[in-house]
Chain A
Amino acid sequence: EVQLVESGGDLVQSGGSLRLSCAASGFSVSDYYMNWVRQAPGGGLEWVSILYSGGDIFYADSVDGRFTISRDISRNTLSLQMNNLKADDTAVYFCVKGGIRGTNFDFWGRGTLVSVSS
């Protein structure tokens, strides 16, 4: 059974840093495109970053240069290092497994809340 469990969300001051983790089970994070998607309070979904199975990485313009996605194959985890956080980064962050063709998202974790105070 596929499971994704996020952790690391917290209240942090503007300009601060935070590291999110996602523990995967039921599949290997190295075999699929893995993503972070966020949702601001009362808002819609916003794609944040992707780590391809082959290792390529891409970011949304809103976080490029501040966030870093990575994976630990031995621990089967996905991480998101977030630096220079802004109030606009306040959101629930979902760890998301990409579909087999990499065009969509076929399984989502329950999310972890990041709150940035200004």
Chain B
Amino acid sequence: SYVLTQPPSVSVAPGQTARLTCGGDHIEKRGVHWYQQKPGQAPVLVINDDRDRPSGIPERFSGSNSGNTATLTISGVEAGDEADYYCQVLDGTSYVFGTGTKVTVL
């Protein structure tokens, strides 16, 4: 089955840029979706199909996908961005999530 690999944690100072990676074999051929999950809450879709922002998601969130790595970029990080972030792709008739990255705002 398809495997998505994410770094366990990323730390970033307020106002700086966080880049979260999601690695997978030829992932550029798949649409990658990103979810934000704050403690005790349900996940929220923040990036759809590599780079599209759903309604209500700040422009600070952007995505890209090339080669074997998809990237979620959070510009001008705020304290409220502290959360777990998961990437996800469709693999045939099943859905695969990445291992998740915990973003800590210093």
Contact = CB atoms under 8 A, between A and B. Distances in A.
Interface stretch (B19-27, B38-46, B60-68, B73-81): B38-46
Contact of A45 (B44, B48, B100): B100
B100 A104 contact: no
Given A44-B100, A108-B42, A103 B49 contact: yes
B50 to A, nearest CB: 11
B2 to A, nearest CB: 12
Given A47-B97, A60-B94, A94 B42 contact: yes
Given A47-B94, A47-B97, A60-B94, A104 B42 contact: no
A58 B94 contact: yes
Contact size range, A: 20 to 34
B45 A104 contact: yes
Interface in B10-33: 31, 33
Contacts of B88: 45, 104-105
A45 B99 CA distance: 8
A108 B96 contact: no
A10 interface: no
A99 interface: yes
Q: Which of A46, A47, A109 has the most CB of B within 10 A?
A: A47
B20 to A, nearest CB: 14
Nearest to A99: B48
Interface of A: 35, 37, 44-47, 50, 58, 60, 94, 99, 102-111
